[in-house]
Each structure stands twice: as structure tokens, then as C-alpha cells.
Structure 1
Amino acid sequence: MACKCVFYVGQLCTQFWCLLDIVPIKNEKGEVVLFLVSHKDITDKKKEQNPEQGPETGEEKSLHEETGLEVHQVTRPPGFNANRRRSRAVLYHLSGHLQKQDKSKLKINNNMFGEKPPIPEYKVAAIQKSRFILLHYGTFKAGWDWLILLATFYVAVTVPYNVCFTVGGGRDEGNTNAPRSPPSVSDILVEILFILDIVLNFRTTFVSTSGQVVYDARSICVHYVTTWLFVDLIAALPFDLLYAFNVSVYFGVNLLKTVRLLRLLRLLQKLERYSQYSAVVLTLLMSMFGLLAHWMACVWYFIGRREIGSPGSWDIGWLHELAKRLGTPYFLGGMGFLAGGPSMRSSYVTSLYFALSSLTSVGFGNVSANTDSEKIFSICTMLIGALMHAVVFGNVTAIIQRMYSRRSLYHTRTKDLKDFIRVHRLPKALEQRMLECFQTMWSVNNGIDVSELLKDFPDELRADIAMHLNKELLQLPLFESASRGCLRSLSLIIKTSFCAPGEFLIRQGDALQAIYFVCSGSMEVLKDNTVLAILGKGDLIGSDSLTKEQVIKTNANVKALTYCDLQYISLKGLREVLRLYPEYAQKFISEIQHDLTYNLREGHGADVSASSRFSRRAVAPVPAPPSSWSTGLDGSLRSEE
């Protein structure tokens, strides 16, 4: 809308014309949280439209009488910059509102009264997810994929066998139009599963080339139609359901069922998803090798049956030789069909033996190729076997190495440690301590360096991970008043440590470098062979003097009684964080005096406070027997060692 505005400077006021646009901005609840106001100075345009307008109109006189202010008519307020740059994000919809016509008249664009521009919203963009959409990484979809995988392997095994042994090589060889027996229940269930899988794929999310998860139903349908629909549709053709309509299925139709093997291409696509699971990939690769051997065995038997029916080579084929050795020769039965021969079981086992021996080596000659067709197939089998050795067994070797990579790294580190000990001739006691510490630390973190692992992640994500890893320490009452930003900064400087039984964490007179938190285990505080405190899980030790960057000497020894896991915050890093958050620094300094289980600062009256704390705490078990302790003159426990 166009309006006249008044600009006040002290006791003076000026008027100017502007185009005012007010847009409410709503949040996700539909509530108006603020108004977006933008204006454009149109004083010059208004003046050109009304050149006869005097210096003071009736409206101006009325304003002068009501307010007592002196009104001056000017084109724009003093210091007003009409050529200022406007934000495109705020005023983009004002472009085109004004049009300068040939007659130099100002007109409001019809777009103002036509379709309104989109109103901005003050909220986080929500995912536009249609109803009944399955997540491709969900638990249900993962279980369904494994079910489809088993069904695919079932098809890959039964279809070639039925085509080559049951139909193509059965007793009714001469009658290719002989109907097959009705399908089993499992065959019909597999076809139903494949049809349902097509329906589910139309409602399953996918990851686009830009790395975003697509939830839109239309985009999902278009993506599936242009990728895997054709293969899945061919594999799901319900050949076995034809029996429900009393339609006879013959050999040619059964041969068409081999197109279901195209569904194995989907398996190759999903191998990448399970590549991090070495055992799964190893099992799938060996299954693929066994499946290939099964296919070769079926084709080998099919060729042998065809050679038996050939007048020129019926007596030299491998199947004829096998029948003679087993004492079950072929002969012509009724209707001129072949009868006799080895059983299906013997034929399949022999075919599988030849296929595996040809794929893994050059064979042993007890089952040999005699006819031209058999020799050509044997050559192809050997070439495929060489390729499988390079692909499958090469991957198997890499997977096995990856499975044992962590163990290999452990042995390498152990050997390096022993070489270091031998080169520098460390004493036996120190050698034993180093080896025990290394083995214990390895059992805790499995050789994983957390800082090295997380260094490539963004700071925001690293802070969230660090807060989760150190949540036990950050949940202390000492940090309750800290802001989330302060906690995130603290979590990034928290480190972990470990102490074996008998190891000293701190010695008396050393410079204190950190504040320690006991995650597990038991420790004792010693001074002049006197036990001042027993520390356990949840205890905090350190100093309360953190404001000055001075060397803090410790007043006691801290020794581990059992295996102890510790978390610590370096004093240098802590001071830097407190400088960033001064509002929390004062609270921290005042509260840490009460939260420390034992104050290690030299000069602090720790003996009295420690004795009172020690009397109120449950004493952790100490390895030394009770008879080795005596009572000092001051009533404290004293070791006789």
C-alpha cells in the first residue's frame, strides 16, 4: 500500500510518500512471531503526479494545529538516501510493484492484487514424507531384504536344476511337450514374495546422487521405474500360478524361468552395503562360487543328455561312460524313448564333481570331455574358473586379512615394545610394568586411538561424541550450572588414563597437571606412609587454585590399589575454557572446593579434611593384610612397610 509518513527530528517534522509492505512471519505452529516491514520512497513519483500541490495542504494544517509542530514539505527527510541498496531476500517481491508508464504516471502493478507472493515462515524445514513410506535403512526393510535374498538363492538353485534334470534330462526326453508336475508350495510362495517386493519398492526411500534421502512418493516411483523395475518384473512373472487356471506348462515355458536369475544383479548392488561385515561378505562370495559350480553341473548334465540322444556320439559321451562303469547302461524303451542310465543322484554328484574340479584346477580325467560339445564347455569352464580365482578368492584373501588385521596390529605393537625393551636394556620390573599396562590398555580400547579416529569429523559432531563419552564426568554437581557451550568445550579437552595396581598416579611434590576423576577401581592417598583417603568410583581429586597460572605442588602420593580407569581435565585447558565463559568461572571456583574428594594442593589443610572425609567414606578393599597396619599417635593409619 502507498501511504504518507511523517519523519520527526526534534520539534520539526517532515512528510514523504512511501510504498509500505507488511508481511507476517509464522512459525511451525502457525503463530505470528514477527512482522517483516519494508518500504520504498516514492516521493518523487508522487510529486510528478501532483505538481500543483501547494507547500501546505489541509492535512498538514490540521497536523500543525493538533500537534503544534511546524510542518515542512520536502521531497525526503534530511540524510535520507533514496538509492540505498535493499536486501534481495527481504524485498524481492517488491520488484515489479511499480511501473513507470509513458505518461509519467505512477501505477500499482496488478501483481499486487493477483497471486500473492509466498509468505516466509520462521521454522525449520520439515521433511515432506508421504504416508506408508518405508525407510531403506529401517529394521523391517533390512529383514525383508534378507528374506528376498534367501528366496533369490532358492530360485538360483531350483530353476537350473528343474530345467536341466527334471525337464530337459528326464525320462521323457523325446517328448518335449510332456507337462511338468504341479509346482510346490515353496515355488508359489517365492513368486508371491517377488510380487510383494515390487510393491514395497514403490514405497521405499532411496539416496539420491546428491546424498539426500528422497521421501517423495512420485520421485521414488520414477527412480524405481527407471532402474530395477524391469528386472524385478521379469523375475516375478507368475509361471507357477498358471496351474491355478489349469494351464499346462511345458519345457519352453520352464526354460523362460531362468530369467529370474537376473535378480542376482540386485545382490551385487547390495554387497557394497555389507562390505564392512567381513564374515557376511565372505559367506556371500563362497555361496556365489558354489552357486556357479551348481549351474555348471546342471549345464554339464544337460549336454551329456543331449549327446546320448545324438546318433553319432551317443556311445562316447561322459554320461554313457558313467552308465557303463555303474552297470546301468541306457537302452531304448517303449515308444522309442531312452531308458536306464545312472540315477539322478549319481548324475548330479558326478556333474558337480566335474564342475568343481574344472573351476578349481584342470580336472583329474576320471570324468572327461569326449565329444566336441563337451570339450567346448570344458574350455569355457576352465576360463571361468581362472576368472573366479582372481575375483572371488582374491576378495576372500583380502577379507580374511581384514578380519585378522586387529590381531596382526596387536602382535606388531607387542614385538615393537619388546624390541624397545631389549635395545634400551630396561630392568625386569619396568619391563613387566610396561607389558602389563600395554595389554590392559589394549583390552580396554582394542588399539583404537579415539583422537585419531575423530580428527576428520566436524567440530560440532566431535563435541557431541565427546559429551556422550564423558557424560559421567560432566554430570557431576560441579558442572550443573555450566551452559551447554561450556560443557561442549570441556568435553573436547577431557582425556582418559589408566593405572595398574601398584602404579603411582601422582607423587608428592610433583607439579599438578590436571583434575582427575575415578571412573572405576580403587586408589589410596598416601603421605609419609600414612593413608589419608581411599578413593573409589565417582571421586574427584585435584586443586581448587585455578585462577592463577602458577605451579601447583602436590602434598601427597596417589597410588592405585586395583586396575583403575580415569578421566582427567588438564589445568591449562581448563583455564582456557573458564576464560571463554567468565560467568561460569566464578561458580566453578567456589563450588570445586566442596566437590573435591581430596585437595592435592600443597599448603592446603588436607590432613584434617581428608581424615573427616575418610571417616565418612566406605573403605575400598586394600590388598595388604590388616596385620600390616598400625595406628599412629594422631589416630591415622600408618603402614609398616
Structure 2
Amino acid sequence: MDHFAEYSGVVLMILVGAFGLFGHWLACMWFAIGINTICNEDGNLTAHNWLVRFSVDTSQEYILLEDCVLTYGPSHLDAYLAALYFVMSSLTSVGFGNIAPYSPYEQSFSVVVLIFGALLYAMIFGNVTTIISQIYADMNRYHDSLNSVREFARFNSVPQNIEARIMDFMVTTWQQTKGIDTNAVINLCPKDLKADICVHLHRRVFNGHRCFLEASDACLRSLALEFQTIHVSAGDIVYHKGEYVDEVSFVARGILEVLQDGEVIAVLSNGDAFGDNVWRRPLSHGPAKCVVYIRALSFTDIHVIKRASLKKVLGFYNDYAKSFDRELKLAVNVCESVHFRKIKRRKPKLNAADSVKGGISSILGKGSLLKSGA
């Protein structure tokens, strides 16, 4: 039960099944009490018996033969269903009186059933209420987040376009992550397990770039612990022109466009790397300045590693650092401007016939000018 406690549907089915099983066992006991006390000491049918009263109410009266042998009467199925009905009504309430205990044995059993039913009903259906509330807990948390955004925007007079972007980001992120805080889950784990989880989460980056092929398992685990994942909605700006850049970014999913002077100079998609050659710049030097805009065209997952973290790992794994520097090719270096060269239009070459026609036209032109001058 504890192992499957997080599965609300399974726990709910187990509790309902347990309630039905207890009801079946008690119904069998109630039927056994009725069938074993149906005859009195004189060997006759007793009137203080729930089975006898039930047979009379259903016009299926028992006929007693010798040695307290019964014939006719309700079938075993009808008697069991009546017993189950009595037990279930006693477990969930105080019964309805249509099937009631008459003999001291039946009354004593009914008292036990009522006490046990009160405890069982409180335990099982109390857990059912908790499980149902847990099922809607995530949805309630989602709506609470949206309400918090609306209240924040109203209290701070946030412009509608910014509020719409916040709402779009919240909704899109919830659809992708289901409200799970990845960092909170990872931080609960020990270092070894945390590294395994991070390697799995960043596997698209490690498998999609040649610069990570020669890295050892220990090196990949160290790199994975330093990576961060950011989610960007469509229309959001990843880099603004003039911002400092101190990391390398890898696109795991989505599409980005690179804008320079209002024109699209590149489009980034899955597997592309962008940023700056930060692993070549000493930590004593400040970060470089971004000269372009990078804007998301769709919901995008970007894996980012900072310069200090990258240089720390590469400084420890010196042999791998050379391979990393050689193999990593940035699709776009956001700190370097792209210069476009204007292509001059060349005059078309004339063939021999066009040259002759041109010469004749020039001669005729000169002749007409001389004639007019004379």
C-alpha cells in the first residue's frame, strides 16, 4: 500500500475492494448465524430469526422436515444478497429495519458490525476524500498560479501585452512540465544519483554534438551537473543587443531567429550551438557584449553552461579540453557582427555581332553630328 501510495487511482481501487471484501466476509457470518439458529430447542422453526422473517416477507417460507432439515424457502443466492444488503447498510449507516436482528446472537453480531463499520467507514472513505483532493491538487495549484499572475499584474499595473506574455509562458510551461519543479526533485537526490539524472536530462546535447564524443563518463557527469535548462516561449527574446554574454547555449528543441539591424541573418534549430567562445577567454577578462537579437519562434528548450563552470571542468580534464576546443563550432557567435559585402553588377559582355552594330551606330552618330555642324 505504501509503495503505491502515490498512485491515487490504485489506492482508491484497493480501498473500495477492501471494503467490499470485508462486507462479503461479514455477510457470510450473518448468513451462518441465521442458518444455525433457525431451529429452537424443540426442533421447530423459531420466529426470532432473520432468515425466517425474510422467507415470510418474500412469500418463500421454509418447510421444516425431520432433524431440522429445511426445504423450500429462499434460494442461497437470495439469502446471501439479503445478508450482504444488511451488512452494507449497517457498515455505511444504521440500517433501514427491513432486515433486522431478532435473536441475542443476531443482536450481538449487529452491535459488532456497527462499531466495526463506523471505524472502517471513517478510515476508508476518509482516505477516499484525501485521494480525490490529491487528484485535483495539481489543477488547483495551476489555477492558483494563474490567479497569482492576474493579481500581480493588477496590483503593479503591468501592461496588458506583458501580462499576456506571462500568462502564455505559464500555460505553455505547465503543459510541458505539468508543474514539476525539476531542480527541487534533483536537489533531493545524493550527488551520484543527481549526476545520473543530469546526464539523462542533457542527453540530447551530449549525443548531438561532436565536441562531447571524446569526453569520458566522469567528464560528462561533471559537465551535466553544471548545465542549466531554460524554457522560452514563442516571441521571447533570449539575447538583447548590448547585453553581456558569458555562456554557451545549445538548442535542444525549438526554433530561434538571429536579428541584426532588423534583418534575419540566421535561424537556429535543434542541435545548434550559439553564444561566445567563452572557454577561450580568461576569467580575468570581462564578458563580451552581444551585438544581435535572438528571438524564439516557438517554445524552445535551451541548455546553458556558464563560462566559469565550463572552464572549471575543462581545466580539470586538460586532455579533453583540446578536443572540445577543436570540435565545438558555434552556429552563431552573438558577439561578432556579420558584415555583408555589396555585390556590384557586372556589365554583360557583347558578342561580335553586337560589337559591329555598336560600331556602325557610333559612326552614323558621328556622321550626323558632323553634317549638322557643317
TM-score, normalised on structure 2?
0.83
SS of residue matched to 1:606: coil
Is residue 246–residue 276 contact of structure 2 (8 Å, CA) maintained in 1? no
2:220 is the counterpart of 1:481: no
Cα distance in 2 for residues equivalent to 1:291 and 1:337: 31
Question: Alpha-carbon deviation of 1:437?
Answer: 0.5
- The within-5 A match list for 1:131-530 is 271-311=1-41, 314-333=46-65, 337-475=69-207, 476-530=209-263
Instruction: Quickly say closer, same or farther: Cα 1:474–1:320, change in 2 above 3 A.
Output: same
Amino acid at match of 1:572: A
SS of structure 2 residue aligned to 1:320: helix
Whether 2:288 is the aligned partner of 1:552: answer yes
Letter in structure 1 aligned against 2:272: D
| Whole-angstrom CA distance in 2 between matches of 1:423 and 1:307 | 75
Amino acid at match of 1:458: P
Amino acid at match of 2:28: C
CA deviation map 1:544-563 (0-9, x unaligned): 24322312101111111122
CA distance in 2, matches of 1:461, 1:385: 46
8 Å CA contact retained: 2:292, 2:337: no
- With normalisation by structure 1, the TM-score equals 0.50
> Which letter maps to 1:487?
L
CA positional deviation for 1:323: 1.2
Q: 1:598, 1:606 within 8 Å by CA — same for their partners in 2?
A: no
Aligned CA distance change for structure 1 residues 634 and 294 (closer, same or farther; 3 Å): farther
**Between Structure 1 and Structure 2, which shows a larger proportion of helix residues?**
2
1:533-592 CA distances to partner (integer Å, 9 max, x unpaired)? 111111111112432231210111111112222111122322332333344434434443
Runs of 4+ in 1 over 6 A off after TM superposition: none
The one-letter amino acid paired with 1:364 is F
Could you tell me whether the CA contact under 8 Å between 1:525 and 1:557 is conserved in 2? Answer: yes
For the pair 1:581 / 2:313, whether they are aligned, the reply is no
Contact 1:600 1:606 survives alignment (8 Å) = no
Query: Equivalents in 2 of 1:505, 1:518: separation in Å?
Result: 12
Q: Secondary structure at the match of 1:309?
A: coil
User: How many pairs does the alignment contain?
Assistant: 338
SS in structure 2 of the partner of residue 280 of structure 1: helix
| Residues 634 and 533 (structure 1), Cα distance of their counterparts in 2 relative to 1, 3 Å cut | farther
- Give 1:311 shift: 4.5
Amino acid at match of 2:14: L
Q: What is the rounded CA distance, in whole Å, between the counterparts of 1:634 and 1:378 in structure 2?
A: 100
Q: Give the match for residue 355 of structure 2.
A: none
| Deviation of 1:405 (Å) | 2.9
Cα pair distance change 1:516/1:307, threshold 3 Å: same
> Deviation per CA, 1:176-205, whole angstroms, max 9, x where unpaired?
xxxxxxxxxxxxxxxxxxxxxxxxxxxxxx
1:428-453 CA-partner distances (Å, limit 9, x unpaired):
11111111111111121222222211
Distance 2:51 2:72 in 1: 12
2: CA distance, partners of 1:310 / 1:399: 49
Specify the code of the residue in structure 2 equivalent to 1:292.
F
Provide the C-alpha distance between the structure 1 equivalents of 2:214 and 2:53, rounded to a whole number of angstroms.
89
Q: AA paired with 1:301?
A: F
* Paired residue secondary structure (2:305): strand
Q: Distance in 1 between matches of 2:115 and 2:337?
A: 85
* Identity score, percent: 33
CA distance in structure 2 between the aligned counterparts of 1:400 and 1:420, rounded to whole angstroms: 30
What is the aligned partner in structure 1 of residue 331 from structure 2? Answer: 597
CA–CA distance in structure 1, aligned partners of residues 76 and 216 of structure 2: 77
CA–CA separation in structure 2 for the residues paired with 1:386 and 1:504: 61
Does the aligned pair in 1 maintain the 2:258–2:266 contact within 8 Å?
yes
Structure 1 unaligned runs (5+)? 1-270, 612-632, 636-641
Given residue 10 of structure 2, which amino acid in structure 1 is its aligned partner? V
Letter in 2 for 1:274: F
Tell me, in whole angstroms, the C-alpha distance in 2 between the residues paired with 1:497 and 1:545.
Answer: 19
C-alpha distance in 2, partners of 1:295/1:272? 25
Greater relative contact order structure (CA < 8 Å, 6+ sep): 2
Give the secondary-structure state (helix, strand or coil) at the position aligned to 1:308.
coil
Paired amino acid for 1:470: H
| Distance (whole Å) between structure 2 residues aligned to residue 282 and residue 514 of structure 1 | 49
**CA positional deviation for 1:416:** 2.2
* Separation (CA, whole Å) in 2 of partners of 1:305 and 1:287: 27
- Is 1:540 the counterpart of 2:273? The answer is yes
The SS at the match of 2:48 is coil
* Structure 1 residue 528: Cα displacement: 0.9
Matched-pair contact (CA < 8 Å) for 2:232–2:301: yes
Look up the SS of the partner of 1:498 in the other structure.
strand
CA distance in 1, matches of 2:205, 2:10: 38
The aligned counterpart of 2:365 is none
- In structure 2, distance between residues paired with 1:527 and 1:509: 12
Distance in 2, Cα, partners of 1:321 & 1:285: 34
What amino acid is the match of 2:253?
S
Q: Give the deviation of 1:480 after TM superposition.
A: 2.8
Give the conservation status (yes or no) of the 8 Å contact 1:544–1:589: no
Q: Contact between 1:369 and 1:375, CA under 8 Å: does it hold in 2?
A: yes
Report 1:562-641 matches (<5 A). 562-592=298-328, 595-601=329-335, 604=336, 606-607=338-339
| C-alpha contact (below 8 Å) 1:333/1:339 kept by paired residues | yes
Say which SS state the counterpart of residue 99 (structure 2) adopts: coil
- Are the counterparts in 1 of residues 247 and 278 from structure 2 also a CA contact under 8 Å? no
| Pair 1:560–1:605, CA change in 2 (3 A) | closer
User: Is the 2:242–2:290 Cα contact (8 Å) retained in structure 1?
Assistant: yes
| C-alpha distance after superposition, 1:64-99 (max 9, x if no partner) | xxxxxxxxxxxxxxxxxxxxxxxxxxxxxxxxxxxx
Q: Secondary structure at the match of 1:370?
A: coil
* Cα offset, 1:371, TM superposition: 1.4
Is contact 1:599–1:606 with CA below 8 Å preserved after alignment? no
